[in-house]
Amino acid sequence: MARRVRDVLLIGTALLWLIPTYLVVVNASTAADDYAGPSWWPGSWGFFDNLSTAFETADIGQAMSNSLLYSTGAALIAVGVAALASFAVVIMPVKRPAVWFWAIYTGTLLPLQVFLSPLFNGYADTSLYDTQYGMVLIYAAIAVPFAFFVIRNYMTTAPREMMEAAQLDGASWIAMFVRIHLPLARGALLAAFLFQFLATWNDLLFGITLSTSPNVRPLMAALAELNGQYAGLGPPVILAAGLVASAPTVALFLGFQRFFVNALKLTP
């Protein structure tokens, strides 16, 4: 009996969460010319026409390419830096490792809004504003603390005997990092990469603050412009673009959900 109640609750919760997705799909598939308001049932089919309008009007294709560049580049840089920092704090004999941990991890405790004004002024003064490398730089910087948190927690579980054996064999710190700890931590590295990829892909705050040009603007900023400046195109066009924008992150999560679960198990 208890199992049936649990199953019913789980199914009901899943259906409840799927209702908004269902409404988005139905209304995004309605032809913009026939749209008369939110609908619970599919009417005329116009999804691909809506999507074509969004791509032509707001240059969604270029924005998706920009977000792919930012998400991949920033996540790779952040994971690389975080892996080095984690190895130094956990494995190498540094003084006051707890101080170094909190000095890096504190970056996740501050709201991102506090960085906007100094970042905008600094980017404007250094010609980083509205540039692709400037966007990659800021996304990588804000991604390092959480990636460090995930990778560092995993490296604390590495057997000390393995490190001692490598040192007895004459292995250098670089050799230990590259040949031993990186292969062992590949699950945590991939999980950190996925987390930061999704966070960068879905970012709107820095996208609308530090970029304006279509060839630099990330995807969420382009969707915000589509919803603002081009709102007259109709909700079906905006919803169709939103569905396509969310499809890569949903596919990524479903394909690598095991690594997300494992990463959460490593966090205290």
Kindly tell me the sign of the dihedral angle through the C-alpha atoms of 236, 224, 72, 215: positive
Confidence of residue 99 (pLDDT cuts 50, 70, 90): confident
| Res 268 pLDDT > 50 | no
Average pLDDT score, the chain: 80
Question: What integer pLDDT is reported at residue 249 of this predicted model?
Answer: 81
| Res 264 pLDDT > 70 | no
pLDDT per residue as tens digits for the range 102-133: 888 877 777 878 788 888 888 888 888 889 98
Residue for token pair 């603390």: 145
Average pLDDT over residues 94-107: 81
Name the nearest CA neighbour of 148 among 201, 204, 108.
Answer: 108
Q: Of the ranges 153-167, 210-224, 234-248, which is most confident?
A: 210-224
| Percent of the chain's residues with pLDDT above 90 | 10
Q: Residue 31 is encoded by which pair of tokens? A: 């032809």
Q: Of the ranges 18-27, 188-197, 225-234, 237-246, which is most confident?
A: 188-197
Question: What integer pLDDT is reported at residue 262 of this predicted model?
Answer: 60
Q: Residue 81 is encoded by which pair of tokens? A: 């830096």
Question: What integer pLDDT is reported at residue 100 of this predicted model?
Answer: 83
| Res 261 pLDDT > 90 | no
Question: What integer pLDDT is reported at residue 230 of this predicted model?
Answer: 58
| Res 212 pLDDT > 70 | yes
Kindly tell me the sign of the dihedral angle through the C-alpha atoms of 28, 34, 40, 45: negative
Distance CA 71, CA 197 (A): 5
Q: Which residue has the higher pLDDT, 229 or 52?
A: 52
| Res 81 pLDDT > 60 | yes
Question: What integer pLDDT is reported at residue 37 of this predicted model?
Answer: 65
Q: Residue 19 is encoded by which pair of tokens? A: 């209702």
Distance CA 158, CA 170 (A): 19
| Res 265 pLDDT > 60 | no
Q: Is 21 helix (H, G, I), strand (E, B) or coil?
A: helix
| Res 95 pLDDT > 60 | yes
Average pLDDT over residues 17-28: 79
| Percent of the chain's residues with pLDDT above 70 | 88
- Tell me the CATH architecture of domain 61-266: Orthogonal Bundle (1.10)
Residues 267, 150: contact at Cβ < 8 Å?
yes
| Res 259 pLDDT > 80 | no
Question: What integer pLDDT is reported at residue 74 of this predicted model?
Answer: 93
Query: What are the extents of the domains in the chain?
Result: 1-45, 61-266
